[in-house]
Each structure stands twice: as structure tokens, then as C-alpha cells.
Amino acid sequence: MKILQISFILLWRAWFFLINIFLVPLWAGASIPFLFKDKYYHIAYWFHQMWARSNLFLMGFWYVLEKEKEETLDKNKQYVIISNHSSIMDIMLIYSLMRNHPLVFVGKAELAKLPFFGFVYRRSNILIDRKNLSSCMQVFKQIQEKVDSGKSVCLFPEGGVPNPSIFLDHFKSGAFSIAIIKKIPIVPFTIADIKTKFPSFPIIKGGPGKIRIKQHHSISTKNLSLKDKNFLKEKCFNLIKYQLEKFEREKIKNDN
């Protein structure tokens, strides 16, 4: 890789941190007064969306969304959102996609340690320490409480951003257990391209451009029980894996 190209990528990465020095206090900070009561969460959620959409725009990303038969999600329903996970930009994409469905993310507890952002993150989302069993059990309870208060939930079933060499990591069961227990439909998304355009590692790779996203049909859990959890998990894993492979074939074809 040429030195000029590496220099551009490093400057572009630095730009990401620079704009968030401004965007986090602006959008996330403005949401703070609305985070203390559930009935105002939809206002806080709007500010979170502005933060996410501003990031995508200023970093030079735009997405093309493909839906199966143009399925429209019911804005009066709750959903469990799942997706493959390869970058922090996945969070911003989900915020942008789910405009009419205020949701909370289940994410790493480590992010709560960040100055200022950590406070907003902690108030807005559910934090999990996967090394702590009691934390995982408490998170499961918190998710149910959020659902009971009318919010949708987003979980990345890979359990975090996997090593870049892993195409799609094994799914954990939490998202599927919650969906079955609460009888909430699952909406799987497949996000392509961001793994190469804004990878978590190495930081000398990436660049702005188009992100392809597939919104799959929502999957009903109305007639499922917890004994169907593994079947549901495998179904969603295969669905996303197949679509990622399809996106990859399309990219290779277009590059040739």
C-alpha cells in the first residue's frame, strides 16, 4: 500500500474522532434531559439518530437498502433487531434504518468508561460484561424491562466484532431467547462492505463509499417456545451468512 494512500486513510480516521468531539456533545448531549423518563425516550432517540446520520454523512458513507418484497415494519410494533457486526458504524446504520422504532442496544460495558459519551451510552442502552455471569443474567432482566416499556431491542448475536479473518462468527442465544419469551418478531439485517470500509482493525484500511444492506423478512416467534431457540438461531445465522456470500459474489463480479 502506497504511503500517500495510508496517509489519507489515517487522516480520514482522525477526522472521525475529530467530528465526534463536536457531535457527541451536540447530539448526545442534547438528548440527556429526555433520558430520565421512558415517555420522553423517543425524543432522546431522535437526537441519537442525528448523531448517527451525521457521522455517516461526514465520513462519506451512504447506504443502499434492499428489502424483500418491500416489507414495511409496523411502527406500532416492537422488534428484536439482529445483524452481523464488523464495525462501530453498524450501530449508526441501525439507528438510521430504524427511524420509527425507538430501540436500545445491548453493548459492551467498557464503552461506559468513555468521558461524557459513557454517561449517555449508559443511560440509553444496556451494558453487558460477558466475562461476568451475574452481569449476563442482570442484562437479560433489563432487556425484558425495556421491552415491557415499549422499546425495541438491537443485539449483535456474534457477541462483538469478531476477528477480521472470521467471515461470520457463531451466534449467541440471547436475542433469540428474548424474542421467544416476549413473542416479538425478529428482524435480521445483513450489512456488507463496512468490514472493509471501516474495519475496527487494522486502522490503515478503509475509505468512504456505498454500504449495501439487506433487510430480511421479519420472523414471527408467536408459536415458538424456548426449545425452538437453537433452530431459530441457526435459521438466522444461515440467512445472514447466505446474504453475505451473495454480496461478496456480486462485489467480485462488479470488480472484474
Report pLDDT digits (tens) over 198-209: 988 778 889 999
pLDDT at 234: 98
- Cα–Cα distance measured from residue 88 to residue 85, given in angstroms and rounded to the nearest whole number: 8
Residue ranges of the chain whose pLDDT lies below 70? 1, 111-112, 114-116, 130-135
Write the single-letter amino acid at 216.
H
3-state DSSP assignment of residue 245: helix
CB-based contacts of 50: which residues, under 8 Å, 6+ apart? 27
Report pLDDT digits (tens) over 107-121: 877 766 766 677 787
Structural class in CATH, domain 61-255: alpha beta
Torsion, CA 142, CA 147, CA 152, CA 154, rounded to 10: 30
pLDDT at 242: 98
Closest CA to 251 of 202, 203, 214, 212: 212
User: Where do the structural domains in the chain lie, given as residue ranges?
Assistant: 61-255
User: Does this model's pTM top 0.85?
Assistant: yes
Cα dihedral sign, 54-122-102-176? positive
| 176 beta partners | none
